[in-house]
Amino acid sequence: MSTEGGAVLAGRNAAPSHYLFKIESFSLLSKASVEQLILDNFEAGGYKWKLSIHLTGSKSVNVTDHISIYLELAETSSLPTGWEVNAITISFYSIKFKTNILVSKVRNSTINVIVKHFHAMKSKYGVAKFIDLKTFSDPLNGYLINDACVFGAEVFVVKNTFKGECLSMMHDPPTYYHTWKVSNFSSLLDEFYESESFGCYKWYANYSMDVKILLYPNGNGEAKGNCISLFLDVSQSSIPPNTKLLTKYFLCVENQMNGKNSEVEGEWLYTLTNRAIGGRQFMTLAKLKDPTEGYLVDDSCIIKAEVTLHGLVLAET
């Protein structure tokens, strides 16, 4: 890879995919005093483009003894007022031929990669000193073979898929606590059970934290039949549109004999599509029901939860 006149030059083994222009009898162009070629429009990225080649250099910038090459956004009159197009342009030249037929792999080719912002005041970009004519004309370099050469271009339009977010931390983050005693565990037959709601603090406009503990006494998903599943669920009404809640959570099944609780804790971003955190394989049913472990006493277990709201992640436009 090398640089020339601000251009980034490198080789590759593939032909340009959007536009090719072959010139035969290149030497006759100079004899005919042809200094500039404005080529036909081609389409790429949903726009019309046009390649222009100055065969002895761009006179407008006082460049001689070089080939200058430019890419222009064509037919801009049909674009809306205030149009803007960001594009990565790759201009090619010197595609080596074999018996005057383009070979499947491009050899001795050079590319110029430019990232440019096209708009109404600037719809044309290029490189005035693309390659010097001495280098271009030397057959040993492979740019001009049997008095023939090929120019080409690729244009990749950069689509605007911008997404911005801002984290706003709370100076006095509220923490919500809840203790849930689940009685008659062996009689629980439903798929899941919910605790009472906790966390009624109004933290944003008319939104309040509404949190529940979800218990799947026979497991959920892959844990079904082997474990209990526990989750901390925030109601949909607690989360404004385009907002995420940065929280720290704690969830445990209390050990009623020795205080060695089974617990999880961590950080979680609650969103409208991810409103629950916990674990499907929170604790095996065998461990929970083992009377020597101390988690299930008199057919009751105690579940404790804490949720601290540390901040909001808001969408930015």
Burial group, residue 39, by CB count within 10 angstroms (0-12, 13-18, 19+) = middle
Question: Which domains can be identified in the chain, with CATH numbers?
Answer: 2-157 (2.60.210.10), 165-316 (2.60.210.10)
10 has a pLDDT exceeding 60: no
Name the CA radius of gyration of the chain, rounded.
34
Q: 64-80: buried (b, 16+ CB within 10 Å) or exposed (e) per residue?
A: eebbbbbbbbbeeeebe
- Count CA atoms closer than 13 A to 130's CA, side-chain side: 29
Q: What is the pLDDT of residues 272-291, one digit of tens each?
A: 899 999 999 999 999 999 99
Name beta bridge partners: 132: 66
Place of tokens 């005035």: 128
100 has a pLDDT exceeding 50: no
Q: What share of the chain in percent tops pLDDT 70?
A: 84
Burial group, residue 271, by CB count within 10 angstroms (0-12, 13-18, 19+) = middle
Highest mean pLDDT among 159-168, 237-246, 286-295: 286-295
